[in-house]
């Protein structure tokens, strides 16, 4: 039995319940969106993203303290726009019913799968890409014809407000609504009897969300985090590996769910890797303090957490290499944290157990490739894995002997930018996926439909059973039965 009906839920946010009920009522009265409505709304969403770009970029930067305008343009504007373009190109095909095989026994009946909107979908978004991680799931949910309620993160309040204003401009409140608030709103939100709940955030909160959803048997997609490894094979050019790993790590100051969390380097190459990493940072971020393209850590709590991770590793005997090309003083108030390499941190240090989510890169050493694979496999399944090697055979071995949500060979992050590839975790890094056709099907119900033909043989198997059924069974089972 469902633990709570909408009316029984006590809500901390007055806006939540009415917003949800309006969407539910609209679903009950009008159901989902037609193809034409979906296409029109996707166009309007794309137009709004372009019109609101400046306001949104300012809001995001103010929320972070400083967020590179380029990072914002690429990930919060370009990524949703290209997702919308891709969805529009493929939507007709995805919506088409698919024909399925019919066994000769039931011919000439036909089998079809039809794709229906699920109903009212809830989306809970995190702060690290506060616009993209609300708007891209929204685009897929709309493409599948649903009505949607969104709860953005409380850590990026200006962005949430701007996004709410933008989406109010695009959508009627009985199609899409945004409710704001902190964890208490998140808790109430995840208790609502949605038809699907799509959560992006930490693994620990994901557990709470799934537990709350279970009371109403609400299916969930959980887009979570974790520690994504980068493995460098000794034959791969170290400077190139260091460049791609550093770029992946330092984008958004490491506050990316698929950022390479730590790097596995062969023992004898550690010093060369450190030098190559330092060289890349020097080239990309000659200055940190006054560099508008070096993003700040989102909050004081996260800043202190990251400083604490390095301090603990240092105390436990790790070598710390802080890369601050001009030796600037980075005021804690700016929440800019210099890229930091940590070598030799013990396995049980917090840095090696928790997702880092900042510009700190632990380097773990290995001797044989099998040892690196074993190191990864001894830990929870990561969201991404990055392997650097030009040998295809070895790359296939690493891909087949490890399990991760996604992977890149010879690069980092870029698999997430490939719109036709599904994006999601596995094990502790998530459940389900979106992007690509998977995005549409995540938000659709696959309804199995059997269509009986006017002339058919179904009556032959009806009781009273007798010789005809015996003969048919002999044929079907391939063995003779006697009465």
Q: Is 328 a catalytic residue?
A: no
Question: CA-CA distance, 150 to 166, in Å (whole number)?
Answer: 13
Q: For residues 187 and 320, which CB has a smaller minimum distance to ligand NAD in the complex?
A: 187
Question: CA-CA distance, 78 to 146, in Å (whole number)?
Answer: 24
What one-character DSSP code corresponds to residue 146?
Answer: -
| Residue 433 sits in the site that holds ligand NAD (CB under 6 A) | no
**x/- binding map, residues 176-195, to ligand NAD, per CB under 6 A?**
------xx--xx--x-----
In angstroms, what CA-CA distances link 352 with 47, 307, 346, 387, 427? 43, 14, 7, 19, 19
**x/- binding map, residues 76-115, to ligand NAD, per CB under 6 A?**
----------------------------------------
- Kindly state the smallest distance separating residue 127's Cβ from ligand NAD, in Å: 5
Q: Is 257 a catalytic residue?
A: yes
How far apart, in Å, do the first and last CA atoms of the chain sit?
47
Q: Near ligand NAD by CB under 6 A, which window of 121-129, 170-178, 339-347, 440-448?
A: 121-129
**Residues 356-415 within binding reach of ligand NAD (CB under 6 A):** 357, 383
- Read out DSSP for 403-438? --SEEEESSSSGGGG-TTS-B---GGGEE--BSHHH
Out of 71, 76, 257, 438, the active site residue is 257
Residues in the chain, overall count:
483
Q: Using CB under 6 A, which of 124, 341, 408, 413 touches ligand NAD?
A: 124
Q: For residues 201 and 359, which CB has a smaller minimum distance to ligand NAD in the complex?
A: 201
- Kindly state the smallest distance separating residue 46's Cβ from ligand NAD, in Å: 21
| Residue 209 sits in the site that holds ligand NAD (CB under 6 A) | yes
- Kindly state the smallest distance separating residue 408's Cβ from ligand NAD, in Å: 15
| For residue 464, cis peptide bond before it (omega within 30 degrees of 0) | yes
Q: Using CB under 6 A, which of 17, 82, 164, 202 touches ligand NAD?
A: 202
Question: CA-CA distance, 231 to 263, in Å (whole number)?
Answer: 6
- Kindly state the smallest distance separating residue 404's Cβ from ligand NAD, in Å: 12
Size of the site for ligand NAD (CB under 6 A): 29
Instruction: With residue 397 as reference, give the H or E element that holds it.
Output: helix 392-401
Helix axis angle, 157-170 to 132-143, nearest 10°: 30
In angstroms, what CA-CA distances link 415 with 12, 407, 435? 39, 7, 11
What stretches of 191-293 show up as alpha helix (H) in DSSP?
203-215, 238-250, 270-284
Q: For residues 243 and 261, which CB has a smaller minimum distance to ligand NAD in the complex?
A: 261
Question: CA-CA distance, 170 to 148, in Å (whole number)?
Answer: 13
**Which residues have a catalytic role annotated?**
223, 257
* Contact set with ligand NAD (CB under 6 A): 124-128, 133, 151, 153-154, 182-183, 186-187, 190, 200-202, 205, 208-209, 223-225, 257, 355, 357, 383, 425, 430
């Amino acid at each position: 039995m469902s633990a709570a009906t909408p009316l029984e839920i006590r809500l901390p946010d007055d806006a939540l319940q009415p917003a949800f009920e309006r969407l539910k009522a609209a679903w009950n009265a009008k159901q989902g969106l037609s193809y034409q409505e979906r296409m029109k709304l996707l166009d309007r969403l794309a137009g709004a993203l372009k019109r609101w770009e400046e306001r949104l970029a300012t809001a995001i930067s103010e929320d972070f303290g400083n967020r590179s305008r380029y990072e914002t343009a690429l990930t919060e504007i370009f990524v949703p726009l290209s997702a919308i373009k891709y969805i529009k190109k493929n939507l007709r095909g995805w919506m088409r019913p698919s024909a399925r095989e019919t066994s000769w026994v039931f011919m000439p009946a036909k089998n079809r799968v039809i794709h229906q909107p699920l109903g009212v979908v809830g989306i809970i978004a995190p702060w690290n890409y506060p616009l993209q991680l609300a708007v891209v799931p929204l685009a897929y949910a709309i493409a599948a014809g649903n009505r949607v309620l969104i709860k953005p993160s409380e850590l990026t309040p200006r962005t949430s407000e701007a996004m709410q204003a933008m989406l109010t401009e695009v959508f009627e409140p009985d199609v899409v609504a945004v409710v704001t608030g902190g964890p208490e709103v998140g808790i109430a939100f995840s208790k609502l009897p949605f038809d699907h709940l799509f959560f992006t955030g930490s693994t620990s909160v994901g557990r709470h969300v799934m537990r709350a959803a279970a009371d109403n048997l609400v299916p969930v997609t959980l887009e979570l985090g974790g520690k994504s490894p980068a493995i460098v094979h000794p034959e791969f050019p170290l400077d190139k590996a260091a460049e791609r790993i550093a770029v992946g790590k330092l984008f958004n100051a490491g506050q990316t769910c698929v950022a390479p969390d730590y790097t596995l380097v062969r023992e004898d190459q550690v010093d060369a890797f450190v030098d190559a990493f330092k060289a890349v940072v020097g080239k990309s971020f000659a200055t940190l303090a006054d560099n508008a393209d070096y993003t700040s850590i989102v909050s004081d709590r996260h800043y202190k957490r990251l400083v604490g991770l390095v301090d603990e590793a240092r105390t436990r005997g790790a070598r710390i290499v802080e890369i601050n090309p001009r030796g600037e003083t980075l005021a804690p108030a700016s929440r800019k944290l210099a890229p930091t390499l940590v070598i030799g941190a013990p396995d049980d240090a917090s840095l090696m157990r928790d997702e880092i989510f900042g510009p700190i890169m632990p380097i773990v050493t290995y001797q044989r490739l099998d040892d690196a694979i074993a190191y990864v496999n001894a830990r929870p399944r990561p969201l991404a894995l990055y392997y650097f090697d030009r040998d295809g055979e070895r790359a296939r071995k690493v891909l087949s002997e490890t399990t991760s949500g996604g992977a890149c060979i010879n690069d980092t992050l870029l698999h997430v930018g490939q719109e036709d590839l599904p994006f999601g975790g596995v094990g502790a890094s998530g459940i389900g996926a979106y992007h690509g056709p998977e995005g549409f099907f995540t938000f659709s119900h696959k309804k199995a439909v059997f269509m009986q033909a006017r002339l058919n043989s179904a009556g032959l198997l009806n009781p009273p059973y007798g010789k005809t059924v015996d003969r048919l069974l002999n044929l079907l089972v391939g063995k003779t039965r006697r009465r």
